[in-house]
Amino acid sequence: MLGLELVVVLGAAVLVGNVVGRRLSIAPPVVLLLTGVLLGFIPAAREAQLPPEVVLLLFLPVLLYWESLTTSLREIRTNLRGILQLSTVLVILTAWAVAAAGHALGLPWGPAWVLGAAMAPTDATAVGVLARALPRRQVTILRAESLVNDGTALVVYGLAVGITVGEEHLSVPHVGGLFLLAYGGGAAVGFAVAWVNMNLRRRLKDPLLGNLVMILAPFTAYLLAELIEASGVLAVVVSGLIMSQVAPRIIQAEHRTQALAFWPLATFLMNGALFVLVGVELQYAVRDLGRADLRDALIAVGVICVVLVAVRFAFLYASTYLVRALDRSPRQRSLRVGHRTRVVSGLAGFRGAVSLAMVLSVPQTLDSGEAFPDRSFIVFVTSGVILVTLVVQGLLLPVAVRWAKLPPDTSVDEEHDLAETTATEEAIKAMPRLVTELRSDPKIAEWLRQEYEAHLASIRARSSGAHDDPAVLQHQDYLALRLALIAHKRSTVVRLRDERRIDDTVLRRLQAALDSEEVRLSGGAAVE
């Protein structure tokens, strides 16, 4: 099964898996993985194998770039020390613990370290989907951890695969050099790609060309970093974080609107396709394992799940008390959390797309031409662990959140009201000067001033909790009437097209404007 057939099957599987998962209140990744297993019964689907090196280059850059664009850099700076600990020290400890467990279960050290590296990183997308009930700070720390720890895990993974296939050697200076090159080179490439991206985006006025640059950016960063044997993951993340800060100043609204329509869909499809592919690969791995090997693999899934949770909890508690003993500054005290919060963070260490991409990219053969040892075993165990963490930890996390009694996180709503209030107040103050500069009609200026002041009154009333205030109710009526009028205008334009009084080109242009206005107003209604 190649080309168009594979695209159609994967797309249909992603659609069906998500619909079924939501209907049955099951995490969609679990259903997608099981859908892939069912597809594996089709011989043509089971034989569909992407080249191992393509998996990482095709899937990871897109997923990581979007996550880095939508992660709060302010929260990362505030919690940088904890994030670095989780994304470096914890990853290496986890990889070592899983490798030791795998070796104890019979794997040679090389494949055991490959399994450990694949299991070490948490997954940003899974955290975003399954940890929505957490406060913003915790979600940001978890997402930032999963962005950076991918780079650490991939260095360990590359070293383990290289040693196993006969391309690498193990020594402290060599390993230290690899980590230095991975982080330093990856960050340098990320800065360079972001700089080129910024300059091109300033000059390109066509939104199609601007967003083509945006699509190329993560692939370019990943590819250039890999060419110098640096961390492609870190290059993509650094480039995305830089663009998240400068994009609001240099990118036009039309460019952003188009990008926001593309990227969520692209990352949704990429994630879904990965889970389906690993399900297919799991079916392939099961057929390649004997009965005794399958029993050992199931035992390994259980053992490694326990190891992952135990190492994460042990590290969270040990690192916390070590930091408290070494740093007693007021700033550090303000960042402290209770043990209940740490329990929630411990359960939020989901594995997902990155582990899938790594295990699917394990080469089929060694340099000698022999089959990569225990590849099917590694694929099966990785898939099983991901399935267990998504199901078990995904079910336990909401329970843990309720048990922890975490305070409601209203900071986003409060900051939203602050920004909207300040922007509206300053716009009203600037209106007389702008009216003079633009030589606007005083009647239009007065009409706009009244609209802005009514909007400002509704924001102030809403932020004070007075949702039954007349200003809020009037604003809700205003939004409802505007949306109804837009719907009426749309039906009129469609009727004119059906009567052949206007062309489809005119319909699409007017419809795009009406859709944009409806989305803007619907967003305001949702905030109310």
Indicate which CATH number applies to the domain containing 61: 1.20.1530.20
Distance from C-alpha of 246 to C-alpha of 264, rounded to nearest angstrom:
20
229 and 271 in a single domain? The answer is yes
172 and 293 in a single domain? The answer is yes
Task: Give me the amino acid identity at 125.
Answer: T
User: What tens-digit pLDDT sequence spans the chain (528 residues)?
Assistant: 456 777 888 888 899 988 988 888 777 877 887 888 888 787 777 666 666 566 667 888 888 888 888 877 777 887 777 788 888 889 999 999 999 999 999 888 888 999 999 999 887 666 655 556 666 777 777 777 877 787 788 878 887 887 777 655 556 676 677 778 888 898 999 999 999 999 999 888 888 998 899 999 999 999 999 898 888 888 998 999 999 888 888 888 788 888 888 888 888 888 888 778 777 777 777 777 777 788 888 999 999 999 999 999 999 888 877 776 666 666 666 666 667 778 888 888 888 767 877 887 788 777 677 878 888 888 889 888 888 887 787 778 778 878 877 776 677 777 778 888 888 889 889 988 988 888 888 888 888 888 888 888 888 887 777 767 787 788 788 888 888 989 999 999 999 989 988 988 888 888 888 888 887 777 654 444
Question: For the chain, how many structural domains are there in total?
Answer: 2
226 and 331 in a single domain? The answer is yes
- Phi, psi of 371, rounded to the nearest 5 degrees: -65, 145
**Are the beta carbons of 119 and 385 closer than 8 angstroms?**
yes
**Are the beta carbons of 263 and 269 closer than 8 angstroms?**
no
User: How is residue 365 annotated by DSSP?
Assistant: B
223 and 340 in a single domain? The answer is yes
301 and 440 in a single domain? The answer is no
Task: Give me the amino acid identity at 263.
Answer: W
Give the pLDDT confidence score for residue 515 in this predicted structure. 85
**Are the beta carbons of 376 and 319 closer than 8 angstroms?**
no
Integer Rg of the chain from CA: 26
Distance from C-alpha of 167 to C-alpha of 180, rounded to nearest angstrom:
19
Alpha carbon of residue 16 to chain centroid: 22
Q: What is the pTM of this model?
A: 0.78
Distance from C-alpha of 189 to C-alpha of 15, rounded to nearest angstrom:
36
Q: Is residue 12 part of a domain?
A: no
Which tokens go with 462?
């809403």
Give the pLDDT confidence score for residue 139 in this predicted structure. 75
208 and 132 in a single domain? The answer is yes
Task: Pick the last residue of a domain from 406, 428, 460.
Answer: 406
383 and 456 in a single domain? The answer is no
Per the document, the length of the chain is 528
312 and 439 in a single domain? The answer is no
**Are the beta carbons of 160 and 388 closer than 8 angstroms?**
no
210 and 318 in a single domain? The answer is yes
Which tokens go with 257?
């609107």
Angle at the Cα of 345 (from 344 to 347), degrees rounded to 5? 65
Indicate the angle between helix axes 375-388 and 109-119, nearest 10 degrees. Answer: 30
Distance from C-alpha of 528 to C-alpha of 526, rounded to nearest angstrom:
5
Q: Is residue 18 part of a domain?
A: no
456 and 397 in a single domain? The answer is no
Task: Pick the last residue of a domain from 360, 388, 406.
Answer: 406
227 and 183 in a single domain? The answer is yes
Distance from C-alpha of 473 to C-alpha of 145, rounded to nearest angstrom:
43
Q: Is residue 246 part of a domain?
A: yes
The CB density around residue 257, as the number of other CB atoms within 10 Å, is 14
Structural domain boundaries enclosing 198: 51-406
Give the pLDDT confidence score for residue 170 in this predicted structure. 59
Residue with tokens 């409601």: 408
428 and 386 in a single domain? The answer is no
Q: Is residue 389 part of a domain?
A: yes
The CB density around residue 81, as the number of other CB atoms within 10 Å, is 13
Using DSSP, state whether 131 is helix, strand or coil.
Answer: coil
Distance from C-alpha of 25 to C-alpha of 67, rounded to nearest angstrom:
25
Residue with tokens 């929260």: 75
Distance from C-alpha of 422 to C-alpha of 216, rounded to nearest angstrom:
36
Q: Is residue 30 part of a domain?
A: no
Residue-wise DSSP of 367-397: TTSSBPTTHHHHHHHHHHHHHHIIIIIHHHH
Q: Is residue 4 part of a domain?
A: no
Task: Pick the last residue of a domain from 387, 406, 425.
Answer: 406
Task: Give me the amino acid identity at 526.
Answer: A
H/E segment holding residue 106: none
Which tokens go with 446?
């007065």
Give the pLDDT confidence score for residue 51 in this predicted structure. 63
Give the pLDDT confidence score for residue 527 in this predicted structure. 46
Q: Is residue 474 part of a domain?
A: yes
Give the pLDDT confidence score for residue 195 in this predicted structure. 95
The CB density around residue 342, as the number of other CB atoms within 10 Å, is 16
Q: Is residue 506 part of a domain?
A: yes
Indicate the angle between helix axes 4-23 and 28-39, nearest 10 degrees. Answer: 140
